[in-house]
Chains A and B, each alone.
Chain A
Amino acid sequence: MAKKKKDIHTISVKVANKPGVLLRCAQVFARRGYNIDSLVVSAGVNPKYSRMTITAQGDPETLEQIIKQTAKLVDVLHCEEHTGADSVTREVALLKLKSSAQIKSAITKHKRKYGLKIVDEGEGAIIIEQDGTTEELDEFEELMKKHGIIEMVRSGKLVMALGKEPT
């Protein structure tokens, strides 16, 4: 996709699982005019803590402030930006498409390349699950647009640092 990729940042935040922590983190971004594109929060292996993955757009200088201000919050253990080189990212999408022979053949054709799985085939509609990188999800969305997408939801980006240390 032709989005300004340079300005999209992936940030991981480890937080203590306390009430209001999401609000506090979101406020740090909002106050500085940063748009959050996606935000994923889930409890970690130790449910005392949660991991957030945030993708956001804006200039790098403001981002540096945002990371420091987020890291400073009492309930935040750490906050870091990740690049493609030091981490893996994945995203999941669910797409609802009009059921047709044409669609089905397109799915079969792209199944392997785009990590597709049919999760439901109902009357007139088919729901596909896609698992891959954000770029792969963007590409497949583009391909399917001409067939007409009824609905699409995406999980938002998940990030994990490479190597033996936790993110």
Chain B
Amino acid sequence: MTKKAAKSTKKAAKAPIKKSMTGAEALVKCLENLGVEYIWGLSGGAAIPIFDALVGSKIKLILVRHEQGAAHIADGYARATGKPGVVLVTSGPGATNTVTGIMTAQMDSVPMIVLTGQTISPMLGKDAFQESDIFSITIPVVKHSYLVKKANDIPRITKEAFHITNTGRPGPVLIDLPKDITQGEFTGKTLDPEMDIPGYKTADKGSLKDIKKMAKLFNASKKPLLLVGHGAVLSGAHQAVAKLARKLNAPVTNTLLGKGCFPETDPLSLGMLGMHGTAYANKALVGCDLICSIGSRFDDRINGKNDEFCVGAKKLHIDIDEAEIGKIVEPDAYCVGDARLIVEELVKHVNPLDTEEWLKEVKFYKKEFPLKFNDDKGLTAQRVLFDLQELTKGDAIISTDVGQHQMWSAQFNLSTKGERWLSSGGAGTMGFGFPAAIGAQFGCPNDLVVAVVGDGGFQMTLFELATVFIHKLPVKILVIDNKYLGMVRQWQELFFENRLSGVDLEGNPNFIKLAEAYGIKGVHIDDPKHCKTRLKEALDFKGPVLIHAEVIKEDNVFPMIPAGRSASQMIIEPPTTKLEKPTGST
């Protein structure tokens, strides 16, 4: 948890209790006391008492257009601010529509509170109108959840939920609230009761013995590589990681979600590694004699073929979640706890290393295998994102969707600070990028927020254009339109003899007119020559803009390590021979 977030959850002021209060009123009071600024929601019968209690509250209720939008908005807010996002929906379909958003947050360890209305308690399990067993449905995708049985339990449950969601390894918490409970009388004595979660463990600073064991391996290394993940961002380990890298003189690579923990503009940074990571990061992965993961879980998009991952290298693992240790990679040394605290201690025990030769080798990879693109065939997504980088210099909050544009954005939009890069990594949820950008803009009203989305994913949640318009959010929506579900098309081209199946987005709307229909300005780009000026014009505009970048239809993301292969089998240039079908997970 970041310091910022810790402060906000500790704010729980002790407000005097009104003489007569409903469960819903008690809930809203608790949320206010916990420092909640916004609730994103969509109303419905079973949730009316809660919506009613929000009338006159200092919490701003934002009405969205679809519950999935609410969940991703809350997620984006949380990723950008470190504070949990709060969602309020009704029972039945309202609740089930949040499931994708909850799963997305769970996969990426994002704090989120989901409040669901529920049918009245006596009707539970009787197939009441709009009844869904959301408690059971979401068990595999929440960090924790509650079905409230008594109004007087609301303060304890709310307090526990906020504690659980943003301590240890963050994750979403769902509270299911039957209508008779929220409508019924609250007769509790306090809104700030003791928590009752004896089984819950938060993170600590890790064992000194474990840290010393890691330091010993570092001190014997000649070619160390640091791998930073989302956990390092979440724990605010930025400075500690930088200190460690500089003391060791070690190159640093990052996962998709670890972007910004260590500045990607730093000479020691290799940018993102993995399936579509930079060639030099993947070459370093093959060449290193020690790899230390700081808050990453060795996702299969990083490891590829597990038994060929960093063969011969010592593997070190720092993670807040003990279950991650040995899940994919059996480490030679590890430490369980908060990444920042562990790295701060680790720095004290490592020696400055002589890595001159190693850095030379890495530098050679960087020079020999740079990221590249050209404008020969017309406007490419890479050109657009390259120009975006030139204009923003890593200062914008970038929220991506999922697919080719996401990988290109990860390659070209270098992050220099944490909490500025929002992307659905674990879940790979199309439709995430645009609403997440809205959440980030709510949380950071003075920052430039750019949603980098594809034409496919954008159409999954574009109804939140209304939310952008109503709240005058100056979000810049950059639609990279290649009229295909591009990543799948790429796989079909490379591995399935170019048999295209279910990827042609024929029938796309006129995106400019679509934006205008919602009262939002549209800017069209289709020429590499004008790309930067048009982009600048859009970014400088004070309100929301949809930038429609019509790019060449057929383009592939390289480098690429086919799923299930090792980093040594990376494809850097477009292949000329037929490739075997990938055997990895997806």
Contact = CB atoms under 8 A, between A and B. Distances in A.
Partners in one complex: yes
Interface of A: 15-16, 19-20, 23-24, 27, 31, 48-49, 64-65, 68-69, 71-77
B135 A20 contact: yes
Interface string B316-352: 0000011100110000000000000000000000000
Interface string B264-282: 0000000000000000000
B291 to A, nearest CB: 21
Nearest 10 A/B pairs, CB to CB: A68-B323, A74-B144, A77-B199, A74-B200, A76-B199, A75-B199, A69-B323, A16-B199, A72-B323, A27-B139
Interface string B138-160: 01100111010100000000000
B384 to A, nearest CB: 40
A20 B164 CA distance: 17
A82 B139 CA distance: 27
Interface residues on B, range: 20 to 34
Interface in B121-146: 135-136, 139-140, 143-145
Contacts of B139: 20, 23-24, 27
Contacts of B149: 19
Given A19-B147, A24-B139, A73 B199 contact: yes
A64 B147 contact: no
Contacts of B200: 74
A13 to B, nearest CB: 10
Contacts of B143: 74
A68 B164 CA distance: 18
B570 to A, nearest CB: 28
Interface in B200-254: 200
A108 B196 CA distance: 52
A23 B145 CA distance: 12
A15 B199 contact: yes
A65 B327 contact: yes
Nearest to B196: A16
Nearest to B197: A74
Contacts of A75: 144, 197, 199
B472 to A, nearest CB: 40
15 contacts: A20-B136, A20-B139, A20-B145, A49-B198, A64-B326, A65-B323, A68-B322, A68-B323, A72-B322, A72-B323, A75-B144, A75-B199, A76-B199, A77-B198, A77-B199
Nearest to A20: B135
Nearest to A70: B323
Contacts of B164: 74
Contacts of A68: 322-323, 327
B217 to A, nearest CB: 23
